[in-house]
């Protein structure tokens, strides 16, 4: 390896090194500080390494500008989750370094997954992420719902790993290669109809595994139970970082450099676009309609996450450079708004009480106008209302879809955006009416949490009013393979 290779790998090396160091720290606050410093150092190293792109490391990892964008997004979100976790774990007997060790490993797995150029690193990154999440989800052992959620995620993730490995084996049997770039270029199609079918089945099995990670329909059933049982910061991490890394990989797999449209594998040019179209439409409807029936805020956000991944697939289906930029911008807006929502839930939770029902937010406006304003901005952005980042994100997705003439998906998106307003406004309405919850947490928050909420809310509002700087920034990173 050359010195340039080391510089490119430096963000991953920093995260891995800090994870080992933090394992020996037994107290919550020092472990959180070391983890924050590690993530910030890795984020700085990412921007330092960006001028060296594109660069491939040993045929296993590829670092182009879009990969660096994905890694920087993962690291930035991890910074906010770490700060929120520190406040959440105060007072917990199990608030030790192991939590941050697992958080660092999960972020390392997400970064490896985003940069994977070979099935070996693809599977390694995915499993490193999944295995870390098993324990993080069940971290609060005193809550039966947490242990149940961890077991559900363990069983289902194990089953989807089997699908992934079988799919990889089929693609290798046809192509003789485990290089993701060749698969993305359609080189796994084979020379005979039987080989083409085998390649399509193999890629379909891989998409089952990725669909589970994205929690899109019909692989969504685990999401509400896991979000409900997991600690609030971990639920926010699952909703953003783990899904963002998979989204980056999907774009690299199906929209390689120079592609003007959605790329389907050889022998499956008709089936795969239709498959993604059905998944996108079903995810939007199922996520929003099921959220209408919920009174649990974390489960509402879980169903909301399902619908938002459906929105994201509309841009993904459009293909081309415009689609890559639309996906990138929407990931930024989705990360910011979702992290705000879960940070507020974490801020209002205590070691003995999780603020997970709408009634827990009754009268919050009278007790804490600050948290109410922050949560309201986040919910309105998730609903896609004007002057928020969510509105601009949905507009850019619809523009990309219109360019590809995906009219049916655009109509479905517009209809579901309207449906979602109802259940988001239910939470907003609860904060401005009724008496205060019987067992609320203190609304006075540590400086770190207040700073996290302020920065994320500023991003949500600024992107809704003046998105051009972020769009210009994304244009530097978005071209895949460059």
Q: Is the pLDDT of residue 410 over 70?
A: yes
> What would the mean pLDDT of 222-234 be, rounded to a whole number?
91
Q: Which residue has the tokens 């089945």?
A: 201
Q: Is the pLDDT of residue 1 over 60?
A: yes
- 111, 125 Cβ separation under 8 angstroms: yes
**Which pLDDT value is given to residue 416?**
94
Q: Which residue has the tokens 């051009």?
A: 468
Q: At what angle do helices 447-465 and 65-89 cross, to 10 degrees?
A: 140
Indicate the range of 52-61, 126-135, 336-345 predicted with least confidence. 52-61
Q: Return the higher-pLDDT residue of 425 and 479.
A: 425
Q: List, for residues 298-311, the tens digit of each pLDDT value.
A: 999 999 999 999 99
Cα four-point dihedral sign 133, 315, 65, 473? negative
* Selection from 44, 26, 7 nearest residue 93 by Cα: 26
Q: List, for residues 46-81, the tens digit of each pLDDT value.
A: 988 888 878 888 888 989 888 999 999 999 999 999
For residue 317, how far is the Cα from the chain centroid?
18
Q: Return the higher-pLDDT residue of 18 and 258.
A: 18
Angstrom CA distances, 203 to 57, 67, 146, 159, 374, stand at: 24, 22, 33, 16, 42
pLDDT confidence tier of residue 264, bands split at 50, 70 and 90: very low
> What would the mean pLDDT of 194-219 be, rounded to a whole number?
86
**Which pLDDT value is given to residue 480?**
59
Q: Which residue has the tokens 């390649």?
A: 199
First to last CA, the chain: 21
User: Can you read off the two tokens belonging to residue 242?
Assistant: 């783990």
Q: Tell me the Cα Rg of the chain.
A: 21
Q: List, for residues 341-385, the tens digit of each pLDDT value.
A: 999 998 888 767 778 888 888 888 888 888 999 999 999 999 999
Q: 433 Cβ partners below 8 Å, 6+ apart?
A: 362, 363
Q: List, for residues 170-205, the tens digit of each pLDDT value.
A: 888 888 888 887 776 654 455 677 777 888 888 888
Q: Is the pLDDT of residue 86 over 50?
A: yes
Counting residues of the chain whose pLDDT is more than 90, the rounded percentage is 48
């Amino acid at each position: 390896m050359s010195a340039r290779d080391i510089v490119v790998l430096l963000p991953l090396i920093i995260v891995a090194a800090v994870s080992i160091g933090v394992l020996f720290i037994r107290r919550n606050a020092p472990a959180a500080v070391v983890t924050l410093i590690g993530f910030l150092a890795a984020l700085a190293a990412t921007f330092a390494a960006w001028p060296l792109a594109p660069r491939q490391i040993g045929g296993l990892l590829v670092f182009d500008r879009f990969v660096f964008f994905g890694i920087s997004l993962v690291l930035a979100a991890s910074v906010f989750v770490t700060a929120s976790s520190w406040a959440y774990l105060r007072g917990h007997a199990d608030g030790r370094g192991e939590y941050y060790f697992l958080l660092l490993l999960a972020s390392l797995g997400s970064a490896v997954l985003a940069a994977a150029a070979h099935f070996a690193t693809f599977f390694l990154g995915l499993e490193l992420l999944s295995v870390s999440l098993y324990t993080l989800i069940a971290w609060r052992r005193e809550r039966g719902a947490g242990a149940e959620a961890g077991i559900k995620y363990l069983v289902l993730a194990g089953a989807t790993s089997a699908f992934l490995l079988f799919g990889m084996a089929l693609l290798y049997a046809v192509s003789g290669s485990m290089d993701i770039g060749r698969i993305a270029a359609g080189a796994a199609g084979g020379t005979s109809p039987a080989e083409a079918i085998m390649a399509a089945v193999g890629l379909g099995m891989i998409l089952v595994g990725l669909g589970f990670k994205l929690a899109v329909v019909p692989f969504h059933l685990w999401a509400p139970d896991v979000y409900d049982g997991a600690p609030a910061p971990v639920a926010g991490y699952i909703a953003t970082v783990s899904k963002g890394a998979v989204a980056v990989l999907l774009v690299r797999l199906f929209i390689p450099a120079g592609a003007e449209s959605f790329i389907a594998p050889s022998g499956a040019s008709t089936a795969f676009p239709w498959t993604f179209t059905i998944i996108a439409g079903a995810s939007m409807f199922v996520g929003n309609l099921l959220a209408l029936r919920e009174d649990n805020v974390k489960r509402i956000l879980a169903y909301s996450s399902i619908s938002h991944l459906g929105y994201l697939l509309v841009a993904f289906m459009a293909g081309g450079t415009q689609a890559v930029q639309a996906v990138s911008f929407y990931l930024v807006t989705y990360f910011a708004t979702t992290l705000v929502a879960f940070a507020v839930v974490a801020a209002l939770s205590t070691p003995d009480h999780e603020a997970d029902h709408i009634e827990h937010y009754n009268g919050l406006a009278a007790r804490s106008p600050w948290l109410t304003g922050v949560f309201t901005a986040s919910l309105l952005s998730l609903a896609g209302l004007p002057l928020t980042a969510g509105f601009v994100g949905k507009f850019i997705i619809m523009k990309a879809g219109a360019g590809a003439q995906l009219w049916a998906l655009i109509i479905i998106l517009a209809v579901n955006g309207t449906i979602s307003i109802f259940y988001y406004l239910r939470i907003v309405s609860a904060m401005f009416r009724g008496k205060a919850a019987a067992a609320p947490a203190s609304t006075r928050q540590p400086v770190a949490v207040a700073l996290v909420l302020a920065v994320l809310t500023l991003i949500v509002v600024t992107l809704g009013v003046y998105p051009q700087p972020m769009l210009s920034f994304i244009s530097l990173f978005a071209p895949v393979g460059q």
